[in-house]
Structure 1
Amino acid sequence: EEPRDKTGLRLVGENCPDGQWTYVMKDDSRRSYAGYLQCPFTPDQCVEFFGQVLAGTRWEQPHGPLGPIPRKTAWMVASGCTCAYRYGNIEVAAQVFPNWMKELMRQVMPHCGLCEEAEWPNSCNLNLYEDGGMSVGWHADDERLFQGKFRDALIISLSLGARRKFEIRLNWPEKNERAMYRLNLGNGDLLTMEGMTQKHYQHRVPKEEAIARPRINLTWRWVAKHSPQCPADRQPVA
């Protein structure tokens, strides 16, 4: 991939005060990065966030080819968008950002250098892992909506509740190259995946049977290519 100074990609950590964000993965040759910020919120805030998201979300557990997926999920979008979220054989209908989501983003986004509402992501995928038996397998967020295979894409992830493992692996590692990155994401921790990560890497949340407590993960992204049926689609018809 072209270097960052050619494409103009600025990392979240570069837009925030020095020393806050650490980059657990910096792959300049593939223009792929993963940043980590330890919980910047108070314990009371985290409890409030968890309660709001759990109660305020219409959760569903779609069926895939092997039966129900091993987590509950929801898909939210900014007003004016109706794009469904499709991955594999699964389709999740859009819910418009509720007021609590906007308030949550008001708390979270400044920690990512996004202080103006106009800069905020326009979609959020939410996953509820009720215990350590729930998981998500290896995948990339490379759906057409986000165009992450073709352009730099920023993903902002907030973890709430139980601490869970999060793993990132390189699709085609070369000899003597690091192929796997592992993090333990705790209550209130923020993670980014930036640049071309979705083209070159996959990630997962593995099962951890010993964990009895629930975890919620919110993954904010920018819909870059709306579906043709979506009112937000401004593409001229070919």
Structure 2
Amino acid sequence: MDLFRQSIEQPENLLPQDGQAYYHGILIPVDDADHYFAALMDNIQWEHDQALIYGKRIITRRKVAWYGDQPFAYTYSKTTKHALAWTKELLALKSMIEHHLDETFNSCLLNLYHNGDEGMAWHSDEEKDLKKHGTIASLSLGAERKFAFRHKHRQHQQKQQTQSLILEHGSLLVMAGTTQTFWQHRLPPTKKISTPRINLTFRNSV
């Protein structure tokens, strides 16, 4: 048993104002986390992500997948996806998180980062296809990666308005309230990581 792999019973808000972000620590024991990681690598319909930047369509090395209760449309970076039907592993993970948080979710966006060269630039998850101020539960599997927040209006005024943490294998980060309105987040690239990471963000689509 790894005594350092523990959940956090009463997580504190990571953000000093204008939002709520709680790191719950390890939600899934390492053996179970390994099982789900392998199953998702094999069974998810991964596709390279696309974005329209300055009128040019860019294909990313990072892969994504979109699942839900029904074929919800989800549009970001001027690209629209329609949700696929849940797999048994996704339903099990969704149920686990819903029980832990006493919340319900109807959709999930998955990201596959093959190594540390792949990351995510500063952005907010406030697309019109998502419930406004809805809770987003972010589950991490695989390589540990740094994750950062910055305030949209204060990052140039106060250095402490940037917050960062390390997301562990099997851990849960929850963003709620007005976080997406006032804060951006990112997964910075790093040369130190050579193994893959899967991130599942459980959401509520409208």
4+ aligned runs moved over 4 Å, structure 1: 174-177
1:122 aligns with 2:113: no
1:94 positional shift: 1.5
- Please state which structure has a larger fraction of its residues in strand: 2
> Any idea what the Cα deviations from partners look like across 1:170-194, whole Å, max 9, x if unmatched?
0001854732110110101110111
1:71 match: secondary structure: strand
Larger Cα-atom Rg:
1
1:101 aligns with 2:90: yes
Q: For residue 142 of structure 1, what is the aligned residue in structure 2?
A: 126
Q: For residue 7 of structure 1, what is the aligned residue in structure 2?
A: none
Q: Which of 145, 160, 172 is the equivalent residue of 2:141? A: 160
1:54 aligns with 2:48: no
Scaled by the length of structure 1, the TM-score of the pair is: 0.76
1:22 aligns with 2:23: no
CA distance in 1, matches of 2:41, 2:129: 26
Unaligned runs of 5+ in 1: 1-16, 226-238
Scaled by the length of structure 2, the TM-score of the pair is: 0.87
CA distance in 2, matches of 1:36, 1:167: 12
Give matches, 1:159-238, under 5 Å.
159-173=140-154, 175-176=157-158, 178-223=160-205, 225=206
Residue 73 of structure 2 contacts residue 129 of structure 2 at CA under 8 Å; is this kept in 1?
no
CA distance in 2, matches of 1:62, 1:194: 25
CA distance in 1, matches of 2:93, 2:134: 21
1:66 positional shift: 5.5
1:45 match: secondary structure: helix
CA distance in 2, matches of 1:205, 1:170: 15
> Any idea what the Cα deviations from partners look like across 1:120-178, whole Å, max 9, x if unmatched?
20010000000001111111101001143xxx321100000000011111000185473
**Quick one: which amino acid aligns to residue 53 of structure 1?**
L
Unaligned runs of 5+ in 2: 1-6
State the Cα RMSD in Å.
Answer: 2.0
**Quick one: which amino acid aligns to residue 184 of structure 1?**
I
CA distance in 1, matches of 2:177, 2:50: 31
1:61 match: secondary structure: strand
1:204 match: secondary structure: strand
1:93 positional shift: 2.8
